[in-house]
Chains A and B, each alone.
Chain A
Amino acid sequence: MTRCPAGRQVIRMLANNNRKVIDRMAAGSLKHNRGRNLIIFLSIVLASFMLFSIFTVGITYFQMQKVQNIRLNGGEYDAVLYGITPEQREKCENDPDIRRAGILALSGYLESTQGDDTVEAACIWCDPVLWDEIMAPAREWVKGTYPQEEDQVMVTEEGLEKAGLAGLTVGDHFRAGYRDGDGNLMDKEFEISGIWEGYGTKSAFYVSEAFYRQSGSDISEVTCGRYHLDFDKKIMTKSEQDAFIESLDLGKQQALFFTSELGYSLPIFFGLCGLALVTCLCAYLLIYNILYLSVAGNVRYYGLLQTVGMTGLQIRRLIRRQMMILGCGGILCGLITGSLVSFLLFPSVIRALGIRAREAGEIQISLNPAVLLLAVALTGLTICLGSYKPVKLAVSISPLEAAGYRPAQGKMGGRKTKKGRLLRRMAWDQIWKDKKKSLVIMTSLAAALSVFLCISTLLESQAARTIVTNHMNNDLTITNDSLRKEDPEDHRDVLTASFMEDLEHLDGVSAVYPLLYGQITVPWEPDFAEQWMEEFYAKWMMIPYEEDRSEYQQYPENFGSVILGISEEEFPYLQEVVDTTLDREDFLSGKSCVLYRNGLELTMENLAGTQVTCAEYGDSGNTRTFEIAGFTDEGYYTGPMLGDPPTIIVSESVVRDFLENPWICKAGVRYTQEYDEETESKVLGLIQNSPDGNALSWESKLETLHEVERAQGNMREVGLGIALVLAFIGILNYINTVTGNIQSRLREFAILESIGMTDRQRNRLLVTEGLFYAAGSLLLTATLGLGITYLVYQSMNYMMVPFKVPLWPVVGMTVFIVLVCIAIPLAAGRYMSGKGSVMERVRFS
């Protein structure tokens, strides 16, 4: 006994060393309550397994997405700078945030070969950093070596085929006509030094540094130099990106584009954190539920312990010791199961993808220490948080209360008599009886449903078909390549009326949209023509506009351009790609037109009401004037050549009225059934059988689809796996809570049976309760879940695909959840209340 400063006596209690007793009791309790503890143990195993699997599968998913992006971009880089000045190059090389920077130089264009006189293939030089490091992950195989000599090229088999050189291989020679960087037409014999296969610009002919040096091209020009930058950090805020662009001091013509992944890196990061959080929430709810039910069921036991003298602290310690034993064992088993699944299951999935680790990035499922630690920490935290309330309940209850404790009998007070059908009323009361538990069930199911909704929406948007559908409108676009020839003598009318007629009549072709084309001049005038040319020169030309203005004023025919005519049926699509609302009548009648923006910083805000006048090329007397109704950036509307003056888009009838016998430069083909391979082969057959077939090229949505699908691998399946695992957690939560709930109501059911409730009525009561849970979860998902899904989707939507909830997966999941909500209580009720006589159940429940 000691005295405190105030003089009062203070009794110091000496701590009892009761650790051994508590350890023994904890072990004994674990042994005697095997069934109950097994459920807790399994829930911990499941939670740690799921957390581990979610993170491992998640990492795999995003690695796959990285592979997809590498494949779609043709290399592993984060930004591309157009035009490279020596200062900028030096800055980038010395920037510690930039891991590597590779140069690409556009050194000319192949125009013809011995096998095809309408070739369109770029001659590209890549420096060793770009070719050997940045582009390497996108390549599948390489034969031979990268060109060293001026006359050597590196190609793909596809590139050779497109250039009419199919069948050539490494060491073979071919002759080709090409334009160098100064626009001079050259003729040269090339040797194929290597052939590669993979992803990227496959039609290009890769040339040596020596070729670039003599080509007259200069990487400081935006038309030639591309600087591929790979940053160290993979998350950059918009302001960091802007600051970097600012630091490069770009010229007017220069531009720096971040790849979509880095551009949206921060929102994607937050989206990922959200998904991880929901996963943790699901695991927490699972453990919390089971622990709560377990402790609530054991309250009498804890009360008894208090009666015989155990303190609250000791009870707390006892429960914690039990949790510690169960937690350690559970987490260990969960991690082992997770690792086994990750090592045995995922590698086979990866192998099925056909991804070679060396060439396509390191996609190996490995025991990531961070994932391991995170899973252990989160499961441990979940056990701590989950056991906090139950422990509090066990400690706070008095011995007397504990002796008579029944979870369902604690309710006091009164309530109004309700109207309505008895069973529905009772089910409704049950939902509201323990609001917290009901909320936990609904939140858990809603969380699983929301994650499923979110992931399936994201997957749908990332699906190859969605990506392709949103970036191209026609199933096939056929182009007359002969119109690209500089010499008008070489131009041929290939897409003739009879060809178009044959095309339209092919089985499976639903529509053909011709794009008419005519050469025009846009005579100088002080308003729009002057403004356009000033902008054009500032953006794209190396010389100032002032040097060419007088020539343009006097000889506009030296500055040719094109007019394009679209069919009336194509108007809705044009409207989609124009940033202003077009007046259909004005456009079709020729009062207004649309201009291809060509990268210029022109908007309708400063050009409202402005007109553009054009004249037929070679007949300056034949002119037309249109009001400018809008701009488009759609590359489809560029015509065979892109002149300095604007490309004018009007209706087909206007072009026919303006020009005599205009030709078709492109034809958009739509199939009755999208992506129909049979129709596509018929159309391609028609092209190949056409006498001028080699002057036609095509861009196929089906081919692009195959390409994107190949790039994606099994990303979709893995993503769906994550969604299903989370849905599984939610359903397990529901099963746990519902079975626990029914367990605690067995006496009530027996009483109800004793006064005449039949099994069928009990089942109807349980089904109604299940339906209420399902309705609550679906309501939460449809409001909060959908809102969160939308936000997550928009933050990760770097493909700019419109938000659309995938109908059938969501309907399927909804039906599944409703069925689960009905079947689980039904099965549990039948199984649990099926034993013994009514009195036995009343007595022993």
Chain B
Amino acid sequence: MKDEIVRTVGLKKYYRLGENTVKALDGVNLSVREREFIAVIGKSGSGKSTLLHLIGGLDIPTSGEVYVDGKKLSDMKREQLAVFRRRKVGFVFQNYNLVPDLNVYENVVLPIELDGKRIDRPFVREILELLQIADKREALPGMLSGGQQQRVAIARAVAAKPAIILADEPTGNLDTASGHDVMGLLKVAAKQFQQTVILITHDRDIAQMADRIVHIEDGRIVGAGDPDDKVSGGEAGDPYAGE
């Protein structure tokens, strides 16, 4: 596909727990177009986060491939993956993963600084204001509430203007109104900077705001794609099922 940015082919991730094997992902084929806003929904333990980590190169699949912008992640070395992440991907982790010794502002601009690029200060200020954490710019993560830390994590993911934003439950710790604000921000940012967003959520209302909803269950993309409720699914081997 011409404007395809993410593609997974037969993606499997198995974990061994004692004598048992847990199939976190079991042959996932997914394709995401540029500037698409996708919500991945599913039950707890269905493999949503694992899928996101594999797309971001944070985890190594048991088998299968991930292509981002036409490049196979498995061909990249560790060093190249790190550079890929800071240039192409903005992560919003479920548990924030902020650096405890850096203040809010330093955390937000960290990926930009790691890449040795100039910081777009007005843009960063705008993001902080939009996320209502501008007054906390010198605070350390340890003194912020869960919701505030979530906002900082979103700001960090957006600040470097990456091509893809991978967000793992970004609104999980926010109240409904804030959650909608954040979604609004993500949508605005994605549109403004032509970003692709893959969002994991269990909140159907939030998922409704996405262009497409992918339903995942027991490590597989499932469900008949219903265009009305914008939920898509498909069998393994059909990367564009549900479209």
Chain A residues with a Cβ under 8 A of chain B: 408-418, 422, 426, 429-430, 433, 748, 751-761, 837-840, 842
Contacts and interface: CB of A to CB of B under 8 A. Distances in A.
A414 B86 contact: no
Nearest to B103: A415
Contact of B106 (A411, A417, A751, A838): A417
A413 B106 CA distance: 14
A412 B144 CA distance: 9
A754 B143 contact: no
B83 to A, nearest CB: 6
Nearest to A838: B58
A756 B101 contact: no
Contacts of B99: 748, 751-752
Contact of A411 (B78, B86, B101, B156): B101
Given A417-B106, A430-B101, A760-B79, A755 B114 contact: yes
A226 B15 CA distance: 91
Identify which of B53, B101, B114 gathers the most chain A CB atoms within 10 Å of its CB: B101
Interface in B42-91: 53, 56-60, 78-79, 82-83, 85-87, 91
Nearest to B84: A756
Contacts of A753: 82
B183 interface: no
B140 A412 contact: yes
Given A417-B137, A755-B85, A422 B114 contact: yes
Contacts of A416: 103, 138
B111 interface: yes
B105 interface: yes
A842 B98 CA distance: 12
Contacts of B142: 409-413
> Which 6 A-B residue pairings sit nearest by Cβ, starting from the closest?
A756-B86, A758-B82, A422-B113, A838-B58, A414-B138, A751-B97
Contacts of B113: 422
A752 B86 CA distance: 10
Nearest to A834: B78
B110 interface: yes
Interface residue range, chain B: 35 or more
Given A429-B101, A754-B58, A414 B82 contact: no
A430 B100 CA distance: 11
A626 B85 CA distance: 91
B78 A417 contact: no
Contacts of B110: 422, 752, 755
A413 B140 contact: yes
Contact of B101 (A417, A433, A837): A433
A410 B97 CA distance: 15
B111 A415 contact: no
B91 A411 contact: no
B114 A761 contact: yes
Contacts of A842: 58, 97
25 contacts: A408-B100, A411-B142, A412-B142, A414-B103, A414-B138, A414-B140, A416-B138, A422-B110, A426-B101, A426-B102, A748-B99, A753-B82, A754-B97, A755-B110, A756-B82, A756-B86, A757-B86, A758-B79, A758-B82, A759-B79, A760-B79, A837-B53, A837-B59, A838-B58, A842-B58
B129 interface: no
B14 to A, nearest CB: 13
Nearest to A415: B103
Contact of B115 (A417, A433, A752, A756): A756
Given A416-B138, A837-B58, A837-B60, A759 B82 contact: yes
Interface string B116-152: 0000000000000000000001111011000000000
A410 B78 CA distance: 30
Nearest to B88: A756
A415 B138 CA distance: 5
A757 B60 contact: no
Given A417-B106, A748-B100, A755 B143 contact: no
Contacts of A422: 110, 113-114
Given A412-B140, A755-B111, 8 more contacts: A414-B139, A417-B137, A422-B114, A426-B102, A429-B102, A751-B97, A756-B114, A839-B58
Nearest to A422: B113
Contacts of B97: 751, 754-755, 842
Given A754-B58, A755-B91, A838-B59, A408 B101 contact: yes
B53 A757 contact: no
A430 B99 CA distance: 12
A842 B140 CA distance: 20
A758 B83 contact: yes
Contact of B156 (A414, A418, A755, A760): A755
A831 to B, nearest CB: 15
**Among B98, B100, B103, B142, residue most surrounded by chain A Cβ atoms (within 10 Å):** B100
A693 B105 CA distance: 90
Interface in B161-213: none
A421 to B, nearest CB: 9
Nearest to B56: A754
Given A411-B101, A839-B53, A759 B78 contact: yes
B103 A755 contact: no
Nearest to B78: A759
A409 B113 CA distance: 22
A418 B115 CA distance: 18
B52 to A, nearest CB: 10
Contacts of B91: 754-755
A411 B100 contact: yes
Given A429-B101, A754-B58, A756-B111, A415 B140 contact: yes
B107 to A, nearest CB: 9
Given A415-B138, A839-B59, A755 B79 contact: no
B91 to A, nearest CB: 6
B238 to A, nearest CB: 27
A707 to B, nearest CB: 62
Contacts of B156: 755
Contacts of A839: 53, 58-59
Contacts of A758: 79, 82-83, 114
B143 A412 contact: yes
Contacts of B85: 754-756
A415 B107 CA distance: 12
A840 to B, nearest CB: 7
Contacts of B140: 411-415
A416 B105 CA distance: 10
A756 B109 CA distance: 12
A837 B73 CA distance: 13
Given A414-B143, A415-B138, A759-B82, A409 B105 contact: no
A748 B97 CA distance: 8
Q: Which among A412, A761, A837 has the greatest number of chain B C-beta atoms within 10 A? A: A837
Contacts of B103: 414-417
A433 B101 CA distance: 8
B103 to A, nearest CB: 6
Contacts of B138: 414-417
A415 B139 CA distance: 6
A842 B93 CA distance: 11
B117 to A, nearest CB: 11
B82 A757 contact: yes
Contacts of A838: 53, 57-59
A760 B81 CA distance: 13
A755 to B, nearest CB: 5
A452 to B, nearest CB: 34
A414 B103 CA distance: 7
A81 B118 CA distance: 83
A414 B86 CA distance: 26
Nearest to B93: A754
Nearest to A417: B105
Nearest to B82: A758
Contact of B86 (A409, A429, A755, A759): A755
B87 A756 contact: yes
Contacts of B56: 754
Nearest to B95: A842
